[in-house]
Structure 1
């Protein structure tokens, strides 16, 4: 075991993406909408085999937080910061778990998975239609992460060394207790804690867990559909700038720094709220013929933003790094890092 001495730690649900182009009939058959992310229910379970049998899928290392950490590391490596990131989550002791570990490690991320021999590694069906995507996650082993894993010597070294922590909202369905261990360390040591709301269903059905995590968040990310869901759930109206300001001003455990709220809106401008002020950052449009797949765009944006934060850039420069990373990823199939990063921070 080599002791971690990097600056970025992520914790989340490691999933192997099973990604395929599908006809509308598949979306209708499984009752899913494009642009959405859901947890698999009984009715969805046959889709994984159907994709494998009939749609020649790609297998891509995924899970929202792991994607963001991989992208951040890709950018940091290109800027002379190899070995800066680590990631924790739970996988099975199977081929998919091995594949996930190989992929993240090859991108320069130090992986410290909890391994569950009794449950298969989680998978995510990525249904791609006309460049849009719908996600159906079967958490499996990812659902079994326990706070006890954070007691290992390696986990302690990672938590101690890191300066910036990122957890996506999907993890709120798994182990709020584990999130609090990391968030409390960040709070006690005045380090930066970042959270993503991740999906409308998290906001609608895990409101207490979101409220618990949000108090720790120095940076809060979400997209426009999640922002709308939050505004509706909490009676904040439909003006996303007002919703962003309200979240930025909501209770916060570390008063020494203001909360910054970042709403991405696909090709529309990114909204940033902090200290009672809203700023918008335009997105450079991508010609439609260059768009391959929006899967991973939000994850990549966060990865670029985190890399910017660690390079001590201002928020505007962090947003631009996020835009650059998202633009790169939507020209790939899935969240795949197909060439050397050309972004200089």
Structure 2
């Protein structure tokens, strides 16, 4: 099987500015633990403050890009994955390009001259992370870039497509183009619920894309928010996963499978009207460095096996392995080679 360009991701490339902060810092900027939000005006000074006050690390991030990098790392096949998103023409953008090349991902960034490369403050307290994303250039992605022959060629080549829900805030038109292409070609299109605010405030575009989703990923908080928004009156993650999997589909080629992670609790997989649960690899508290990128890494590990047409059990096992590696390191980073077999 030819693996070149088999998996394509689209999303918001952000440079993670990661630091261990304190409770007071979170309070000062009104940040909740374990949340992911878009920066408002009140948050803008925090990026500067973080770099002055704490020891920060810069890591190429953004949810989709994290998942694609992890999938690429797990696959160990150069150029198996591609990625598109928008960066600025600045040093952070250059950093991002360098980072992706090293990771072996074939990136086709849209470079915007008017806005700086997007950043994401990763505030870590007691191993738990909170994300505040300042999209900047990431917000400027245009479907015109996707339609260019050299970029659309990546779409034509791919058999699997993954987009984080965050991209719904930027270019729903691009998502729709790729989703419809995937359905027409019997390819596999996948999305992530990504954050409670996406389910709440971007409900319409999310619902428009949902019929095309062959896999829906998310965590327990996002699943419960999705349920609340749709008036399902259940907090039971298994029930919610099942209901999402039974949402009508645009193409009948693939059934929809819902995969919900729950931190240290078992992964919930809903398909064919049934729910299966898979235990995660438990990690002693003292080994936990930070949970940033854990969900993205899970998806990356999962996708690395899915594109090889492995059974769902293997996909989940690889997802749990990748997440376990990532949470023992700072940010969404990994050792040179995976030890997954």
Using the size of structure 1 for normalisation, the TM-score is 0.97
Give the 3-state SS of the residue equivalent to 2:48 in structure 1: helix
User: How far apart are residue 243 of structure 1 and its match?
Assistant: 0.7
Residue 269 (structure 2) pairs with residue 263 (structure 1)? no
Residue matched to 1:25: 24
Residue matched to 2:213: 217
User: How far apart are residue 157 of structure 1 and its match?
Assistant: 1.3
188, 196, 200: which one aligns with 2:196:
200
Residue matched to 2:236: 239
Where do 4+ consecutive residues of structure 1 move more than 2 Å?
Answer: none
Give the 3-state SS of the residue equivalent to 1:70 in structure 2: helix
Q: Distance in 1 between matches of 2:340 and 2:78?
A: 15
Residue matched to 1:157: 153
Conserved? CA contact 1:167–1:194, under 8 Å? yes
Residue matched to 1:87: 83
User: How far apart are residue 338 of structure 1 and its match?
Assistant: 2.9
Deviations 1:232-259 (A, max 9, x none): 1112211111111111001111112210
Residue matched to 2:283: 286
Q: Distance in 1 between matches of 2:151 and 2:178?
A: 10
Residue 107 (structure 2) pairs with residue 111 (structure 1)? yes
User: How far apart are residue 54 of structure 1 and its match?
Assistant: 1.1
The root-mean-square deviation of aligned C-alpha atoms, in Å, is 0.9
Q: Distance in 2 between matches of 1:40 and 1:284?
A: 33
Residue matched to 2:116: 120
The unaligned stretches of length 5 or more in structure 1 are none
Q: Distance in 2 between matches of 1:328 and 1:31?
A: 30
The unaligned stretches of length 5 or more in structure 2 are none
248, 254, 260: which one aligns with 2:251:
254
Q: Distance in 2 between matches of 1:156 and 1:24?
A: 45
Q: Distance in 2 between matches of 1:49 and 1:215?
A: 42
Q: Distance in 2 between matches of 1:274 and 1:214?
A: 15
Using the size of structure 2 for normalisation, the TM-score is 0.98
Q: Distance in 1 between matches of 2:251 and 2:239?
A: 22
User: How far apart are residue 119 of structure 1 and its match?
Assistant: 0.5
Q: Distance in 1 between matches of 2:202 and 2:324?
A: 31
